[in-house]
Structure 1
Amino acid sequence: MACGAALAALTAVPAQADEERTAPHWELKDSGTTAVRFRGLAAVSRQIAWVSGSAGTVLRTTDGGASWRNVSPPGAEGLQFRDIEAFDARRAVVLAIGEGEASRVYRTEDGGATWTESFRNTDPRAFYDCLTFFDHRHGLALSDPVDGRFRILSTGDGGRSWTVLPNAGMPAAQEGEAGFAASGQCLVASGPKDVWLATGGAARARVLHSADRGLTWTAADSPIPAGDPARGVFALAFRDRTHGLAVGGDYRPDQTSPRAAARTTDRGRTWQPADRPPPAYRSGVAWLPHSRSAALAVGPTGTDLTTDGGRTWRTVDTGSYDTVDCTPDRACWASGEKGRVARLEH
């Protein structure tokens, strides 16, 4: 079945047991490894996807996951590649997270055959978590607070060079507030200038919004619980400049995660809790392609679907995934621990 039809079937509520057995599902693709956790995912199309993760690993497929090529940057074995953004089969930008010089950005223009290190953090107080692009040229990367404010890195040339933006337009951070480098979705963009960042770890879990590519920001409280370094908003997804979703919770497996999802219909100025949230912590979220109301959320204990814009969620899979991404040609991909990579199939 074509993926577009599979997505349409996924949003329908099955009426018969036979229909449930043939419902769309995640089909695991053999990545060739079980030793890497892929928290970074860039889905370009139904055929092309990139994943990045632990041990400095970057993989790429151009045949829908039938085969994967290890295109890891040489000498990066000690790095944690928690986020990757790809423009096509040849061009990608990958972020290594960590304190001080562990935070780096690499860029490739030849499908990963060669990489150029375009940024290495030299401030021991900075810790970069995730990055996003507005288009093929303009992008931002997010660091945890430095001098009491989140730090934003900016590029205007596709990731070839980076500049730290002034922080005068950034609201003060709360005590203990930070971003989560769990799925590459703590910083997301929609349109040419709008960008949102997700926080946790402090008294309140917040979502900050900028309408000028990171120069000035406004902060809004979310209903997702915080108050602990392990709790907050872990991932965001915006289908346009107005409608957004937030997911998170408490990433510790022995802790419950009530109210682990929220939605906005006013560009993130206000957030409403889901009437029926996912049953556990979720680290990744993505709108289904060309849908105004359907989205997927993923986490270590399963995948949940909403068909009403984030008001209610229902579990549709119990496999472990850290992040999810969907493409304009109606494909959805997910990745996570033990080398797990999957594509939505029927």
Structure 2
Amino acid sequence: MRFISDQFRGLSPVSSKVAWVSGTNGTVLRTVDGGETWANISPPLENSTTFEFRDIQAWSTKAAVILSIGQGNASRIYLTRNGGKSWKQTFISEEPTAFYDCLAFEDAKHGLALSDPVDGKFRLIETRNGGSTWSIVSSSGMPPALDGEFGFAASGTCIEAAAGRWYIASGGINPGRIFQSSNGHRWKVTNSSISGGAAAGVFSVRFRDAKNGIAVGGDYEKPTQNVEIASWSRDGGLSWQKAESFPGGYRSGLSWIPGRDRTAVAVGTTGSDFTIDGGKTWNGFDNGTFDAVECVSKNVCWASGSKGRVARLELS
């Protein structure tokens, strides 16, 4: 299979059986049998191998949106409602300095996509019809970005929607910062405890409910460095505390496990880790390389990454 060379940073499982992945070379795959077989449902685009679909949101075997990342008009969004038989381009960036990194939906209709700063502030676009149309969100409610600040298009989780709130993770500055909003239009920002730099910062932020959140990151150029790479919050992201023990290295993806109180999984290029105390302490359990992780139930998590790797973790 040619997909063995693809890197799947986009991951959106729907259930223990149905999952979608997206990534390099314009590739989109879907399984409906728990990963036993995969269908190639990549959009038939001109110069398709130049597209990097680094984020995907799926709702069923039929409906999904994918985000192509890149500078200016390389940032695009495509929508399918027939399981990938056809795709419709519903957004293309007309701003040369924009670079879209990730997207998130709070339900099947309302979503936001995040770009690196345009004119000194993070840029957002919004859909209220499941990705059929998108519009630029006014930047008046967005705090100014710091010099060199940006988001990481690493796992599709640099923007998060949970329990009626929105969160943005940033890097490029020290420390990395986390933005929070109750409506996606007016934002507050606070420092995380995660060290930042040119290749470092907060890569993933996830919330279990309106109060309890975890953030992970690190330096992708120093993937084994494991100091100040995880934070936790108990007040909805208004403040962040440094973890007491850290994952085994740089971590790009993170997911809470539904039905398992305070339990979450983080993945990165040097391995995977879990926490059972809401992000205060971490323990490693695998040394495989992954970029993204999503847990769909208390018993099943999916992970994806480089060299065409997709895995399903079954928990007892």
| TM-score after normalising by structure 1 | 0.88
The 8 Å contact of residues 242 and 268 in structure 1, kept in 2 or not, is answered as yes
Q: Which has the higher contact order (CA 8 A, sep 6+)?
A: 1
**CA distance in structure 2 between the aligned counterparts of 1:331 and 1:194, rounded to whole angstroms:** 25
Find the partner of 1:50 among 12, 20, 29.
20
**CA distance in structure 2 between the aligned counterparts of 1:342 and 1:123, rounded to whole angstroms:** 37
The structure number with the bigger radius of gyration is 1
| Structure 2: unaligned runs, 5 residues or longer | none
Q: Name the residue aligned to 2:304.
A: 335
Residues 322 and 78 of structure 1, relative CA distance in 2, 3 Å threshold: same
SS of the aligned residue for 2:57 comes to: strand
Query: How many residues of Structure 1 are paired with residues of Structure 2 in the alignment?
Result: 313
**CA distance in structure 1 between the aligned counterparts of 2:65 and 2:113, rounded to whole angstroms:** 11
SS of the aligned residue for 1:240 comes to: coil
The 8 Å contact of residues 95 and 105 in structure 1, kept in 2 or not, is answered as yes
**CA distance in structure 1 between the aligned counterparts of 2:185 and 2:271, rounded to whole angstroms:** 37
Moved more, 196-205 or 170-179: 196-205
Q: Name the residue aligned to 2:4.
A: 34
The 8 Å contact of residues 260 and 298 in structure 2, kept in 1 or not, is answered as no
Q: Name the residue aligned to 1:216.
A: 186
Q: CA deviation at 1:32?
A: 6.7
The 8 Å contact of residues 232 and 248 in structure 1, kept in 2 or not, is answered as yes
The 8 Å contact of residues 83 and 130 in structure 1, kept in 2 or not, is answered as yes
Residue deviations 1:178-202, cap 9 Å, x none? 00000000001013x3110000002
Q: Name the residue aligned to 1:280.
A: 249
| Structure 1: unaligned runs, 5 residues or longer | 1-30
Q: How does 1:109-258 map to 2 (within 5 A)?
A: 109-191=81-163, 193-212=164-183, 214-226=184-196, 228-253=197-222, 256-258=225-227
**CA distance in structure 2 between the aligned counterparts of 1:221 and 1:39, rounded to whole angstroms:** 26
**CA distance in structure 2 between the aligned counterparts of 1:176 and 1:120, rounded to whole angstroms:** 24
Q: CA deviation at 1:254?
A: 6.3
The 8 Å contact of residues 252 and 267 in structure 2, kept in 1 or not, is answered as yes
Cα RMSD over matched residues? 1.3
**CA distance in structure 1 between the aligned counterparts of 2:228 and 2:15, rounded to whole angstroms:** 32
The 8 Å contact of residues 248 and 271 in structure 2, kept in 1 or not, is answered as no
**CA distance in structure 1 between the aligned counterparts of 2:120 and 2:223, rounded to whole angstroms:** 31
The 8 Å contact of residues 198 and 235 in structure 1, kept in 2 or not, is answered as yes
**CA distance in structure 1 between the aligned counterparts of 2:59 and 2:288, rounded to whole angstroms:** 28
